[in-house]
Amino acid sequence: MISLIPNNYFEMKNIFWIIAAAFAFVACSDDDGPCEKPFDGEVVSFEASEHLLDAMTGDDVKLGPVTMSLMGMGDYTYANAFCAKQYAVGTDFDGMLFSTADQNLVFNAYYSSLYDGWGGIGLSRMPDRNAAAPSSKQQFSVWADGGANGTETYAVFYDSNSPTEMYPEYLSESGYPTIDLVEPRIVAHLYIANSTWVYNYFTGADTDSFQVKITGSLGGVEKGSITETLVAGKSKLSGWRKVDLSSLGAVDKLVFKAVCDYLADPTYFCVDEIGLLKPDAMYFGPGYLEISMVQTIPRTACLPCGEFFAASPVSDFGRGVCRTAVC
């Protein structure tokens, strides 16, 4: 049988992609500032337009005033927040608090009716970049101008378990902030920021340290973890930072833990703009573009500033996905 494919077919394809990469690189020069291809996937940004579902009522999540009794400070009202307090009347709440509209991403929370305190995941629209004495009045505030990428709403994560791990009776199932995925997905990235309380709490001492460890698992088996440093000595994250999670692969659970040196350290941080690859996206490792069933080309030939191409046909011979995880 005579092949209609030229002998140099794959060489020609390599040259094509290298030329395309060169043009893209010129178009995204350093003079233009950071260049990032628009993310071709699903983004959970916690905005009202996404119609997040309150797990207890089935209605859209609604942020509003939340009053808590703060130790030594009396009652305090957070003007624009959402947590599990309203569902912890006479008993503790520990479980699913809200989900995405398609109910594939589930966000869990804890609330103690006895101590009037919470853990896990909540929502807020209370940014605060004012330097002030650190206080639990700042626990729903982010050290930023708002949500990530110009949004308004963001998630507040409070790891209420890590400071009390030596006392198992005080641990709760949702105290470690946890996101469950009903259908496994590749979480490409998320954005993280310091809580205003944490930012004001650490004063720049050489020993100051605050990290967040993110662990992905699938079917109860850990796939790996990524640790982000938010405070290190005099260096403190101000505003939002993008965190690449694609190396974890497909997961059905993400667990977040605060890593700090002292039990008294506040263990809050904020998360926004969670990016999920499309369900049909393929991932073979960072920096590779599949051109055919039998050939891959290295990261240098991928289009710079691209994150992931959708898994769509690039020729009659295969499907292609850019694996460039970081621009």
- Per-residue pLDDT at 12: 47
Across residues 46-71, what is the average pLDDT? Answer: 96
| Phi, psi angle pair for 237, to nearest 5° | -65, 125
User: What are 130-165's pLDDT values in tens digits?
Assistant: 999 999 999 999 999 999 999 999 999 999 888 766
CA distances from 297 to 279, 281, 320 (A): 23, 18, 11
Is residue 221 within 8 Å of 185, Cβ to Cβ?
Answer: no
| Phi, psi angle pair for 98, to nearest 5° | -155, 170
Across residues 159-185, what is the average pLDDT? Answer: 84
User: What are 186-227's pLDDT values in tens digits?
Assistant: 999 999 999 999 999 999 999 999 999 999 999 999 999 999
User: Does 16 have pLDDT greater than 90?
Assistant: no
Among 228-237, 260-269, 288-297, which stretch is predicted with the lowest mean pLDDT? 288-297
| Nearest to 140, CA basis, from 210, 193, 73 | 193
> CA-to-CA distance for 19 and 21, rounded, in angstroms?
5
> CA-to-CA distance for 77 and 106, rounded, in angstroms?
26
- Per-residue pLDDT at 259: 95
- Per-residue pLDDT at 6: 46
Across residues 265-286, what is the average pLDDT? Answer: 83
* % of the chain residues with pLDDT over 90: 62
pTM here? 0.77
Among 72-76, 82-86, 208-212, which stretch is predicted with the lowest mean pLDDT? 72-76
Domains of the chain: 42-276 (2.60.120.1350), 281-327 (no CATH)
User: Does 41 have pLDDT greater than 50?
Assistant: yes
Among 158-172, 197-211, 245-259, 263-277, which stretch is predicted with the lowest mean pLDDT? 158-172
User: Does 40 have pLDDT greater than 60?
Assistant: yes
The average confidence (pLDDT) of the chain is 80
Is residue 116 within 8 Å of 68, Cβ to Cβ?
Answer: yes
Which residues of 138-249 form beta strands (DSSP E)? 154-158, 178-194, 209-218, 221-232, 235-236, 241-244
Helix (H) or strand (E) holding 199: helix 196-201
Residue that has been written with the tokens 């624009």 in this structure: 80
- Per-residue pLDDT at 319: 32
